[in-house]
Structure 1
Amino acid sequence: MSPVDTEKQEGPSARTISALVDDAAERFAAVGIDTPREDAEAIVADSLGVAPKELSADSADDVSAEVAEDVENKVKRRLERDPLAYVLGRAPFRNLEVAVDERVLWPRQETELLVEIAVAKLPQGARVHEVGTGSGAIALALMSERPDLVITASDLSPEAAEAARENAERLGMDLDVRVARGYPDDLGEVDMVIANLPYVTDDTIFERSPEIQHEPRIAVTADCGEDGLGVIRGLIAETPSGTLMVMEHDTHHGPAMQELLNEAETLRDYEGNERASVGKAP
């Protein structure tokens, strides 16, 4: 490695905002991160305690040694391909910001489609249960946008359930989160089951972005089987017949979901991919 490369690994010598952003963006690009500039600005803004949109990324203002050190620590985590959401400790989702860490998947923008579907389809006062709630993002977004709904959630991971409870408390919402595998035995009937369950196979996980390796494997692959639908099939089988289900899945799973659910419809996410299906449990 050349002296220049070594210096880049140790971080910038100058401590201006622009130098920190430029240095981080260059290092991120070098390891193949898709959004190097955006990630660099988000990290520097976070260390400064401001929103990214408020950051003057070309500023020649100096920052303190403490801020520079904090930026460098976060940059090193991102270089190791920790998801940006984990580095920052939070992620936007619909109109909320949820706290995330290694206990849970960080919520993606495409998952917002599930909330959009539920908001549009549910009648006043409907009962909704989210299976595999993780951070609680889906359930909490629904509570925020449809306060008339009766919403509960569950996760098989006690650590994930605790993360969801923490987010609910932080956001001032009363979300009933229980630890259970699949459809909880004591749940009774609900009007809708909503879920973003594992659907990545053990064979294909290494074809995806390196960041997914840092997420809890139980929430990514679990018992998905060769086609990625094992966990989804299990929940559909457990859910009372006729219950409306909204489920995220991989982009090639649409035809299979049409067979698994009655009266099924598959919808596309913001990128145009078939991302979620809605239908009734058989």
Structure 2
Amino acid sequence: MISDISAIAAGVTIGALQVQSLLDPLDNRVLLCHALGLSRVSLITRSERELDAGQAARFAALVQRRLAGEPVAYIVGQREFFGLPFEVNGAVLIPRPDTELLVELALDRLPPQGRLLDMGTGSGAIAVALAHTRRDAAITALDVSPEALAVAGRNAAANGARVDFLHSDWYAALQGRPPFDIIVSNPPYIAGGDRHLAEGDLRYEPPGALTDHADGLSALRIIVAGAGSHLKPQGWLLMEHGYDQSLQVRELLTAAGYVEVRSWCDLAGIERVSGARLPARPPA
């Protein structure tokens, strides 16, 4: 036997393997649960159980992957978002808690039996969370990546959510479809060459879902410019953006003729989502 679970979860050396966990305590526990096939509750209730050499070796291998920089979500293949489990892999972004603000804002504005479009759905986190919460709504989600859509489809099925997924380069596949009450998006908004793209978890995430390889606003411009043709009069457009982009996004919305233009702060007090309403008569 190597060591008991409680000692390993606390980040101490794993016996004869001499593997020291230098991880954040939460990362450490998540990887330990994954290595042992235990839930968080089981990890606590079985904390006196000892690991054999094979189990300790599996955990050590996971720790080494994390120490090399690989995101925990990709190592275990899952991340929780809006209280739901989501499969994630290198084809999709890892859902962030900050994006839950976008879901909450959409839920506040989605009418009964409303229609909502999620653009650039990735893992499907936004669309699935909305469809799971509002089963009366018609949720459509699109992405240009077939690999991302495959992940999103599995996430919808796993969470019992009904979402109409479309393979589309932005608005291309929407011709002839009825307009929406709300359009939401968490598009690529990191400017090309930003140093953060070469740091931390972002090194492992799909570049095309992170950056527009330009000034960080090109996708947002496309969304703002085209949304008026796919929104109902007085429909809402809500977009996540970078920490320093709120003023520029509001200016895009104002210039396009939207009303009730504003930004909303995440839990850190950063303006993370901006949006506006289409006037009763769409702008010319």
Please state which band the TM-score falls in when normalised by the shorter chain: 0.7 to 0.9
Contact 1:189 1:240 in 2 (8 A): no
Which consecutive unaligned segments of at least 5 residues does structure 2 have? 14-18
Q: Of 2, 5, 22, which residue of structure 2 is paired with 1:28?
A: 22
Q: Percent identity among equivalent residues?
A: 33
Aligned to 2:208: 218
| Inter-partner Cα distance in structure 2 for 1:97 and 1:72 | 25
Structure 2 match to 1:247: 239
Residue 174 (structure 2) aligned to one of 178, 185, 188: 185
Q: Structure 1 residue 49 and structure 2 residue 41: aligned?
A: no
What residue is the counterpart of 1:103 in the other structure? 91
Residue 151 of structure 1 corresponds to 139
| Deviation larger for 103-112 or 178-187 | 178-187
- Kindly provide the CA deviation profile for residues 121-156 of structure 1, in whole angstroms up to 9, marking residues without a partner as x: 111111101001011010010011111111010001
Task: Return the letter of the residue paired with 1:230.
Answer: S
Change (3 A) 1:144 1:253: same
- State the 1:53 CA deviation: 4.6
Q: Deviations over 1:89-133 (max 9, x none)?
A: 111111211111111001000000011001111111111010010
Paired letter, 1:182: W
Q: Work out whether residues 114 and 194 of structure 1, in 8 Å CA contact, stay in contact via their aligned partners in 2.
A: yes
1:135 maps to what in 2? Answer: 123
Give, in whole Å, the separation in 2 of the partners of 1:167 and 1:221.
Answer: 24
Q: Which of the numbers 63, 80, 88 marks the counterpart of 1:75?
A: 63
**Residue 244 of structure 2 is aligned to residue 269 of structure 1:** no
* Structure 2 SS opposite 1:66: helix
**Residue of structure 1 in register with 2:277 after alignment:** 280
Which AA in structure 2 matches 1:64?
Answer: D
Change (3 A) 1:58 1:49: closer
CA shift for structure 1 position 88: 1.4
> Is 1:195 paired with 2:185?
yes
Check whether the contact 1:91–1:100 (CA below 8 A) recurs between aligned residues: yes
TM-score, structure 2 normalization: 0.84
Instruction: State the 1:205 CA deviation.
Output: 4.0
Superposition deviation, residue 58 in structure 1: 10
* Cα distance in 2, alignment partners of residues 173 and 166 from structure 1: 10
* Conservation of the 8 A alpha-carbon contact between 2:21 and 2:28: no
Consecutive unaligned residues in structure 1, runs of 5 or more: 1-12, 30-35
Q: 2:113 aligns with which of 116, 125, 138?
A: 125
Q: Distance in 1 between matches of 2:125 and 2:152?
A: 8
Q: CA deviation at 1:16?
A: 2.9
CA distance in 2, matches of 1:240, 1:139: 20
Q: Which residue does 1:9 correspond to in 2?
A: none
Give the total of aligned pairs: 262
